[in-house]
Amino acid sequence: MDLVQRAYSPHRPSDIRIRVLQPADGAAPEGGDVAQGLGARPKTLPPKYFYDAQGSRLFDRITTLPEYYLTRTEQLILAECARDLARRMGPTDLVELGSGSAKKTRTVIDALLEETPAKAPLLYVPIDVSEAALEESAAGLVAAYPRLAISGLVGTYEAGLAALPPRLAPRRLMLFLGSTIGNLDDGESAEFFARAARALEPGDALLLGFDLVKTPGIIDAAYNDAQGVTAAFNLNMLRHLNRRFDGDFDLACFRHRAFFDAEASRIEMHLVSACAQTVSLRKLGLVARFDAGETIRTEISRKFRFAAMAEAVSRHGLALEARWSDRQEWFALALFRKH
């Protein structure tokens, strides 16, 4: 990957560095995944297009909804296990994939700072596709933690893992929280674990958060909230594509739909075309035609059994060291150590 180092702005503390990752020669052109997905049957779009500045704000609202149990349950588990996690790691750098607002990360930072030698910095490497979200969270973190040094990477997980900065500490702890692993199918998750393992050295670790199988009604409600915030989040993807690729999606002509597929043990989130229509994305030279009722799948969110997840991760040289869960066994955190 080629790197673009943003110039420091006057309002940015000197211990924040943000790098925007640009595609290397030979990589797929920007928007190629959009063209491919909208040209397929059935149509799909990658979840990364949820996360412009507005999408990140909407997702933060989702995490506070009464129906959305995932974030608060994971946060409760983190609060209970953070000190144990920090003792296991000792002095370490912290890398987070899909960092977003980094609200949950503060629990981990608090615990890790207790294990970091006095006056030594704690290096935090957040990776996120939204530069705006990364900038905002980084500014808040350095204000709260004077010993924190932030080296942020704007890009996909794949790009970020290939561009990690030099270490400050003997070990590296990688966070992949929020059951984001559930957005990947079997092949994609295997590829992710392989990439993560290559980015880690012996003694480094991956902390993985993932949603567990439970009553379908609880899962379904989490993606169909009464306030309609998840619907707005889903539809905002089209607004993002309009702005980024000079498009003319009419958001009033699409509807949010999310449902639980019990056989596949996953939520599917779709945008449903309310009528027959044609949409253009002029920067991509793309025209997409929709029948009434035709959908775009924007996300899957898989729900897991712990033993199956542990086995899948272990195939990549990452051994299960510890696991934590809530009393209801709704959600799990697992620490995997690189051999």
pLDDT in tens, the chain (339 residues): 333 333 333 344 458 999 999 765 445 578 999 999 999 999 999 999 999 999 999 999 999 999 999 999 999 999 999 999 999 999 999 999 999 889 999 999 999 999 999 889 999 999 999 898 899 999 999 999 999 999 999 999 999 999 999 999 999 999 999 999 999 999 999 999 999 999 999 999 999 999 999 999 999 999 999 999 999 999 999 999 999 999 999 999 999 999 999 999 999 999 999 999 999 999 999 999 999 999 999 999 999 999 999 999 999 999 999 999 999 999 999 999 999
Report the alpha-carbon distance of residue 318 to residue 204 in Å, rounded: 9
Report the alpha-carbon distance of residue 124 to residue 116 in Å, rounded: 13
Q: Which amino acid is at 61?
A: R
Domain ranges of the chain: 42-53+216-302, 57-215+304-338
- Determine the pLDDT at residue 25: 42
CA dihedral of residues 71, 72, 74, 75 (deg, nearest 10): 110
Cβ-Cβ contacts under 8 Å for 322 (sequence gap 6 or more): 81, 84, 85, 88, 334, 335
- Residues 143, 126: contact at Cβ < 8 Å? no
- Determine the pLDDT at residue 22: 75
Give, in order, the Cα–Cα distances in Å from 291 to each of 278, 279, 298, 334.
9, 11, 17, 44
Q: Which amino acid is at 231?
A: A
Give, in order, the Cα–Cα distances in Å from 264 to each of 57, 70, 145, 185, 295.
30, 19, 42, 10, 19
- Determine the pLDDT at residue 317: 97
Burial of residue 122 (number of CB atoms within 10 Å: 0-12, 13-18, 19+): buried
Give, in order, the Cα–Cα distances in Å from 308 to each of 8, 82, 176, 288, 315.
45, 24, 17, 39, 11
CATH number for the domain running over 57-215+304-338: 3.40.50.150
Report the alpha-carbon distance of residue 97 to residue 126 in Å, rounded: 6
Is the bond into 23 cis (omega within 30 degrees of 0)?
no
Q: What is the pTM of this model?
A: 0.91
